[in-house]
Structure formats: C-alpha cells, structure tokens
Structure 1
C-alpha cells in the first residue's frame, strides 16, 4: 500500500511537471526551458539531502550518473514533444512506452505478471496504435515527428526509472543528486554549444522552475516507491501521469481529440490499471 500511494503521488507530480514544461517550451526553445528546470530540480534534491540522507557509494554514483544522462534526454524530448502537441495524445504515448520497458526489466529480474498483466500488455500496445492513428475532421492528430519524439521521450523516461531502481536501496537521495547534477551539466553544455540556435525568446522562468521542482518530487516518490514494491507494478502506476497532463491540457488549452483517439485513451487507462493489479 505504501508503494502504491508513493507511485500515485509520483504520477500526479510527473503529470503536472510535464504540462508546465511543455507549456513553457512553447514560449522559447526547449533547451531554454530545461536550463531553468534542471537546476531547479537539483536545488530541491540538495535541500532534501540533510533530511533524507545520502550515501555516495560506487553503485549510487554509477547508476545515478546513468539516470542523469537519461534524464537530460527525457527532459528535452518530452518538453519538445508536448510543445508540438497535442498534449492529450502524446503524453499517454510516452507513458505507455515508459511503462513497457520497466515491466520487461522487472520480469527479467524475476518479477511475475498475473492474468491481468498478461492482458494489459497487448492492450497497451493496441492503445498506442489507436491514440497514434486517430483520424477525422478536426481531430488532434500528431505529426510523425511528434510521434517519434514521444516514443523517444518514453524510452528515455523508462531508462531513467530503471537506472534509479538499480541504485543501492541504502543510498538515500544520492542517486537523485548525482543524476540531476549530471543532467544539469549535460543540458547546460548542450545549450552552450547550440547557443546561437536557441533564439531570442526568453523562457517562462516561473513555469520552467515549477516544472523542475515537480519533476524532482516525482523522481523522489518513484525512488521510494520502487524500493518498497516491484518495479513492474510501480512503473505502470507511475505511468498514469498523463491523467494530470491531459486534465490540465483540456482545461487550460481546451484541447479536443477525435472519438477514436478517446477510445485509445480509454484503452490506455484500462491497460495501465490492469498492469497495476499484477
């Protein structure tokens, strides 16, 4: 039950962070948004260090650094994906992809899926197809570029979660601190190299910083959830995060989608729910 609640909290935080990050990336180049979000996220983890403790063992350093590289890619790909939009279609795609890889890793490590999980996996793939290929006049159909970015973002998120899960369970927030320090360094280096291509637009500072803070909270909750439960189950519960993104997108941006895609979103919700029952 503790792992479930932590994973649900992580899901809600990720959903809100993604919405704010994607919205911020519409106002300026995505790297300008990530340049604010990543350091803000690191600041939160450094503030939590005295309270939650950290053990910088070799394992924590290695897996934390790996998660940081994946996190930098996830930040940039996800915010760019959501900036292109539509959020209420692309966010569920990233969620399903980000859930599938941890499930596979969990199974390889000896975790077991019940009947619900065996039904949920193919249903999840069907949902991806339905959500991705909705058609009709006025439908919010994503471009091929947006779909590729969404799949890439989902894979990067999955790798980040897998690497965090591999870190020693007694390392406290050390993997998060190392990971965020690495992702911040990678982001700032990329921004420096591409400085002339970033454009003159200023980032939405408050929105970008809030996205980073919420992303840090989400990572923390996921880490503790994974330490108290199975990776396969925690990952798919965390993958419910599009619910927050879609709700905010519909309310704030008035995004609308085709009926066929609504069926896909329903199938996605059902698939994640089934997987969560395993």
Structure 2
C-alpha cells in the first residue's frame, strides 16, 4: 500500500510538472524553460542529500548516469514526436510503451501478481491510453516516422524508470543527483548548439522553476516506491501521469475533458483500487 501511494504521488507530481512545463513552453522556447527547470530540480535533490543521504558507489553512479541519459533522450524524442503529431494518437502510444516495458522487466525479474493485480494491471494500461488521448487531430493518421519516434520516446521514459529501479537501495538520492547532473549537461549542450534558434523570449522563471521542483519530487517518489514495492505495479501507476495534466488543464485553463478521458479517469480509479489489493 505504501508503494502504491508513493506511485500515485509520483504520477500526480509528473502530471503537474508537465502542465507547468507546457505553460512555460508557451511563453518561450522549451529549452529556455528547461534551462530554468533543470537547476531547480538539481537544487531540490542537493537539499535532500543531508536528509535522505547519498552513497555515490560505482553502481549508484552508473545507473544514475544511465537514467540521466535516458531522461535527456526521452525529452528530445517526446517533444519531437508531439511536434510532428497527431498528438491524440502519439501521446497515448508513448505513454503506453513507457508503462509496458517496465512491467515486462518486472515480470521477467520474477515479480508476481495476485488475482486482483492481474485484473487491475491491464485496466491501468487501458486507462493510460484513454487519459492521455486528447481530441487533437481527429482522424489524422501518424506517419511511420512519427510512430517510431513515439515508441522511442516511450522506451526512453521506460528506461529511465527501469534504470532508477536498478539502483542500490542504500544509495539514497545519489542516483537522482547524478542523473539530473547528466541530463542538465545534455540540455545545456543542446541549448548552446541551438542558441540562435531559441528566440528572444524570456522564460517564465517561477513557472519553469516550479516544474523542475515537481519533476524532482516525482523522481524521488518513484524511487522510494520501487524500493518498497514491485516495478510492475509502480511503473503502470506512475504512467497515469497524464491524468494530473488533464485535470489541471481543466481547472486552470478551462480546457474540455473529452468523453474518453472521463472514462479513462474512472478506469484508472478502478485499476488503482484493484492494485491496492495485491
């Protein structure tokens, strides 16, 4: 139950971070937003160091580097995917892949689910697709390139979660610090190379920083969740993060929640209830 609650908290934090990051990217180039969010994220993890501890063993550092590289790849692939569109097809593809791969890894590592879990897991996967599917481009079909990018984005997100799961339990927040440092370095390098394309607009500092803080909270809650529960359950609950984005968009921006998303939210509630019984 503790792992489930932590995973729900991680999912909510990821969804809020995505919402704020999206708001920031409307005002300035997304890389400018990330250039504010990344240091804020790293600052949170450094502040947590004295509280939760950090052991920079070779294993912790190695898996941290791997998760940071996967995080940077996920960012680049996901935004490229959504830029090509249609979002209402590609977003659920990426979300589903990001859930299925960690679940597969968990099962291959010997994790087992009870009857309630076997019912709740596929329901949660269906909910991931329904919640993340917007109205978007209607009946437009994605190109083969766009689909490949969506699979790549989902796989990169999944790898980040799997790599964090592999970190030593006693390493504290060391993998998060190393991973954030790596992903920040990649982002800074990309911004330097593309500086002429970033435009003159300044980022919304408070919103961008808040997105970074929430992303760090989400990563921490996910790490704590997989250290106290099964990757199969934690990963699929975390992948419900679009629910938080959808609800915030409704409350703050008055965006319409479509019928399929309402069904997805209800399905997610049922799935979480079943998984809580495992």
Q: Per the shorter chain, which TM-score range?
A: 0.7 to 0.9
Determine the structure 2 residue equivalent to 1:252.
252
Which moved further from structure 2: 98-107 or 179-188? 98-107
CA-CA distance at 1:229 after TM superposition:
0.6
Aligned partners of 1:44 and 1:17: how far apart in 2? 14
Q: Does 1:170 align with 2:170?
A: yes
Cα separation, 1, equivalents of 2:133 and 2:37:
32
2:186 is the alignment partner of 1:190? no
| Deviation larger for 97-106 or 152-161 | 152-161
For 1:200, the equivalent position in structure 2 comes to: 200
* TM-score normalised to structure 2 length: 0.83
Partner of 1:54: 54
Could you list the runs of 5+ residues in structure 1 that have no partner in the other structure? none
Alpha-carbon separation, structure 2, partners of 1:79 and 1:273? 32
Q: What is the CA deviation profile of residues 51-76 of structure 1, one whole-angstrom value per residue up to 9, with x for unaligned ones?
A: 11111111101100000011223344
SS in 1 for 2:240: coil
* 2:137 corresponds to: 141
Paired residue for 1:45? 45
Q: 1:133 to 1:244 in 2, by over 3 A?
A: closer
Per-residue deviation, 1:140: 3.6
- What's the counterpart of residue 7 of structure 1? 7
> What is the Cα deviation at residue 141 of structure 1?
3.4
Tell me how far 1:201 sits from its aligned partner.
1.7
Counterparts of 1:225 and 1:179 in 2: how far apart (Å)? 18
Looking at structure 2, the residues matched to 22 and 3 of structure 1 have their Cα atoms a distance apart, in angstroms, of: 28
Are residues 217 and 12 of structure 1, via their aligned partners in 2, closer, same or farther at CA, if it must alter by over 3 Å?
same
| C-alpha displacement of 1:155 | 2.6
- Contact 1:28–1:201 (CA<8 Å) still a contact in 2? yes
Give unpaired runs (5+ residues) of structure 2. Answer: none
SS at match of 2:170: coil
